[in-house]
Homo-oligomer: A and B are copies of this chain.
């Protein structure tokens, strides 16, 4: 009868963090052991805050440290993961960060269960097989249109058949500036490739600012406009969806539970629902969103901007949905994020990537390689040490 013996969080960071929209500069690696098996997961940022939510003192019955609902729980099957998932949400209802913390834990639990049962995670999630996904190269806009053009050229030459440009100067200048950037991306990429644009919530809920950019997106045959507004600005999404014609809206990465993702579908009318397994509550929550999106005719896409461990985790929830073939694939990873794993999901000669056919997530952390990125954290409360960075071995 396997039970959860340990839950350890490792904060990894590049020596210097730049003030740019690149989420691969640090990572929070989660290790869970049950008997002789180990599972690995990853939480989205911020590492220190999620560590605090793992170990904080209880505030009241609905605000408990996350670890309390996980440690010593049985792990025989899928129902045990669901039970832990539910218990964390109940016991940490008033602890806002808990959903991000739960995410990495839930991912590690599925990885662990997969290893215990000798099955890839996607199969445990109910898919008979995993379809190949077409990775889109996910990059930041260049500071200038020339730089964006060059980036797009390089992506095309590297064999990618789809690319997404986002953040950077986009939305911060004039409509004309944005027009030049989008046209440079299209020109560099070539006319047959899929082009996606990510506004990174830059317009808040300003529908006019967003709709001013629709025309150039149409001219450049952009497939989706991502996050024009804050996650949850549903009426703004709905309004823009009615104006954007063949440019579909994409969003949902900020969702930290399955309800919020459903609302983006039901009330925001996004055409693509983007889910970060490291935020929404792990694979348990992400699979529910995939099922819901499938039922509603909305396309599921992963959101990920960190390691290939997180990449594998982000694809498992929709691995078996053949029609939902696009997949976010960060191509400007910082060394930390690339070196985090021994295996990588590399596009084949057709440009597709495939999930590993190995137990769990099929991705092994490179413990020797990442030791140099390990951050020492100490948290003391009334003289008692609640957290100290564990030994990574």
Residues of chain A having any CB pair with chain B under 8 Å? 13, 17-23, 25-26, 44-49, 51-53, 56-63, 89, 93-97, 99-100, 167, 200-201, 230, 232-235, 254, 256-257, 259-260, 262-263, 266-267, 279, 375-383, 386
Contacts and interface: CB of A to CB of B under 8 A. Distances in A.
A355 to B, nearest CB: 26
Nearest to A20: B61
Going nearest first, the 9 A-B pairs with the smallest beta carbon separation are A45-B59, A52-B52, A232-B259, A48-B56, A97-B97, A378-B380, A45-B63, A49-B52, A49-B53
Contacts of A279: 96
B60 A17 contact: yes
A23 B200 contact: no
Given A45-B94, A48-B57, 14 more contacts: A20-B61, A25-B60, A46-B52, A46-B53, A46-B57, A47-B59, A49-B96, A52-B379, A53-B97, A61-B167, A94-B254, A96-B256, A377-B381, A379-B379
Nearest to A63: B45
Contacts of A46: 52-53, 56-57, 59, 63, 94-95
12 contacts: A17-B60, A18-B60, A20-B60, A20-B61, A46-B52, A46-B53, A49-B95, A53-B97, A89-B230, A96-B100, A232-B260, A377-B379
Contacts of A57: 13, 17, 26, 46, 48
Nearest to A380: B378
Contacts of A18: 60
Contacts of A26: 57, 59-60
A258 to B, nearest CB: 9
Contacts of A89: 230
Contacts of A21: 60-62
A204 to B, nearest CB: 8
A57 B27 CA distance: 12
A17 B382 contact: no
A84 to B, nearest CB: 15
Contacts of A63: 23, 45-46
Contact of A59 (B23, B59, B167, B266): B23
Contacts of A260: 232
A212 to B, nearest CB: 20
A178 B21 CA distance: 51
A48 B23 CA distance: 24
Among A52, A234, A254, A375, chain B packs the most CB atoms within 10 A around the CB of A52
A278 B60 CA distance: 16
A17 to B, nearest CB: 5
A61 B376 CA distance: 22
B23 A60 contact: yes
Contacts of A94: 23, 44-46, 254
Contact of A201 (B51, B93, B232, B266): B93
Contacts of A56: 46-49
Contact of A375 (B62, B100, B382): B382
A129 to B, nearest CB: 31
Contacts of A96: 49, 96-97, 99-100, 256, 279
Nearest to A15: B382
A18 B64 CA distance: 11
A260 B231 CA distance: 10
B259 A233 contact: yes
Nearest to A19: B61
